[in-house]
Structure 1
Amino acid sequence: MATELADGVWRFELRGVSAYLVDDDVPVLVDAGTPWDEERVREGLEEAGVGVGDVGRVLLTHYDLDHVGTLAALAPELDATVYAGAFDAAILRGERSPPLRNHKGAFQRLAGLFDTPPDLDIEAVADGERLGSFTAYHTPGHTPGHVAYVSEDLGVALLGDLVAASDGALEPSEWFVSYDTDAVLDSVRDLAARAPPFEIACVGHGEPLASGGDEALGALAARI
C-alpha cells in the first residue's frame, strides 16, 4: 500500500517497516523492505506511477535485512546506483561481514542468511555529500554506517532507524536493535544541530510525521 505524504513523497507500508519514494531530480527509492516485500514494493511504485526501471537512485539509510531485502529481486530491472554509508555498503557488497562481537552484528550475521547481495552498483556516501537535493548526514549508532538524508528544498528528512515514531513523537533507536546506543544519542543531537528545517520525517518504524519533523527531532535531542 502506498500513501502520498506530500506532493511527490510516498510511503510504502511493508512487513513491519516502511520504504519511501521521493520525486527529486529523479525518482528516488529510499530503503527497500524485507526479502518478502518485492510485490509490495512493486505495487507501491505502480501506485505512485513509477516503474522499477524509472528509479534513478536508491538511498539506503543502513544495512539491515528489512531495509535492503528486495534489492536483489529488483536488480534485473533496477538501473540505479545504491548509496549507503561506507561500513554498511561494504556489508551489502559482500566485502565484509557484520561483527560477531556485537549483539546487533551477530543478529545481522544470522539475518544475512536470508539476504542475497544485489547485482547493483553500490557506492559509499560521505558525510555532507549531496545527492540530488538531499544532503547525507553520517548518523552512526543503530549501525556503524547509518546515514540520514535531508532535503531543505523538499522539506523532507529520511531518518531510517536512527529514530522511531510513536504517537507523533520521535524516540531513539533502542539497545537491542542498535550497535551502540550512546552513539545513537550523539547522532540524534548532531543531526538536530546540523540539519536544515524540514516538515516530513520519514522513519523506518512507526508512522512518519507529515509536519513538524524538525521540531520533533529537536525536542528529542533536548530531552535525551
Structure 2
Amino acid sequence: MELKQISTHIYKLTVETTVGIPIIINTWYVVNGDNVYIIDTGMASYTDMQIKTAQLLGTPQAIFLTHGHLDHINGANSITEALNIPMYAHELELPYIDGVLPYPNKNEVETTRVAHKVQPLNPSLNMPFTYYLTPGHAPGHVIYYHNEDDVLICGDLFISNSETLHPPINKFTYDMTQNINNGSIIDKVKPKLITTSHGHDIVYSEDIYPLYKFKYEEQ
C-alpha cells in the first residue's frame, strides 16, 4: 500500500490486492484548500486506510465514482457512512449501481451496498475538477480532469504502464470498440499526466492514443 502525491493537489493510494486475479487498485484524493474529494473507493477490505487518508489530508467533502464496478465502489458504503459525505456518479450508471439493471455484459445485478444512495453528477456541483462521459467499459463511465494540475484521472478507460496505454479487461467491458474510440478524449484534453485505476501514471504525448488505437481497434 502506497500513498503518493502525483501533482500539487492530487494524491494517489495504490493497493495490491486480488480480485479474481492479482491487480493494483488506484484511488485518488483531490485536495482543494482544506477540503478533500475522494475519487473511487476501491475494496471494502481497506476502507479504514481510505478514511484515515482522507482525514489526514483535510476535511472530506464527497466521493466521486468513475463507475460502479465493485473494485471501484466496494468501499463506498463504509466510507460514506463513516465520513457522512455524499456520493456521485453519472446518471447513466445509477441503474447498475442501484441494482435495477445488470450491466449489459452480465446476467446478474451488482450488489454495491449503496443502492439509491448515489446522486447523479451535474456540472453545478462544487468540485475542483470537471468530468467527461466515456462509455464503453461501463455505460456511465466518466473520467475527471483537474484543470489546474493538468491531470486526467481515467478510471478504467485504460490500463497503463509508464509508457503505453492498453484496453481494460475485455470480460468486464461491454463495448470495447466504443471504449477504444472514447479514449480519443486524451487528445482533446491533452493533459500533462494520465493516471488510471489499474496501472502506472503516464506522461501524455500526441503519439500515445494513435498507437493505442492502431494496436487494439478491430480491423
TM-score with structure 1 setting the length = 0.79
Shift of 1:91: 2.7
Superimposed CA distance per residue, residues 160-180 of structure 1 (whole angstroms, 9 cap, x where no aligned partner): 000011242111223222011
Residue 124 (structure 1) aligned with residue 124 (structure 2):
no
Partner of 2:69: 64
Contact 2:165 2:212 in 1 (8 A): no
Q: What secondary structure sits across from 1:37 in the alignment?
A: helix
Partner of 1:194: 188
Please, which of 25, 44, 69 is the counterpart of residue 35 of structure 1?
A: 44
Superimposed CA distance per residue, residues 4-41 of structure 1 (whole angstroms, 9 cap, x where no aligned partner): 11222111112331101111363110100012221231
Partner of 1:50: 57
Partner of 1:2: 3
TM-score with structure 2 setting the length = 0.81
In structure 2, the CA distance between the partners of 1:76 and 1:87, relative to structure 1 (3 Å rule), is same
Please, which of 80, 84, 100 is the counterpart of residue 79 of structure 1?
A: 84
Q: Which runs of 5+ in 1 are unaligned?
A: none
Aligned length: 206
In structure 2, the CA distance between the partners of 1:164 and 1:129, relative to structure 1 (3 Å rule), is farther
Superimposed CA distance per residue, residues 145-203 of structure 1 (whole angstroms, 9 cap, x where no aligned partner): 000111222211110000011242111223222011011012112x13432x3222221
Shift of 1:118: 6.4
Determine the C-alpha separation between the residues in 2 that align with 1:2 and 1:142. Answer: 26
The one-letter amino acid of 1:124's match is P
Contact 1:75 1:119 in 2 (8 A): no
Determine the C-alpha separation between the residues in 2 that align with 1:217 and 1:57. Answer: 32
Q: Relative to structure 2, which stretch is displaced further, 81-90 or 4-13?
A: 81-90
In structure 2, the CA distance between the partners of 1:86 and 1:28, relative to structure 1 (3 Å rule), is same
Contact 1:192 1:217 in 2 (8 A): no
Q: Which runs of 5+ in 2 are unaligned?
A: 18-23
Contact 1:83 1:89 in 2 (8 A): no
Residue 98 (structure 1) aligned with residue 102 (structure 2):
yes
Determine the C-alpha separation between the residues in 2 that align with 1:57 and 1:216. Answer: 35
Determine the C-alpha separation between the residues in 2 that align with 1:142 and 1:198. Answer: 21
In structure 2, the CA distance between the partners of 1:153 and 1:33, relative to structure 1 (3 Å rule), is same
Contact 1:198 1:213 in 2 (8 A): yes
Superposition RMSD in Å: 2.6
Q: What secondary structure sits across from 1:123 in the alignment?
A: strand
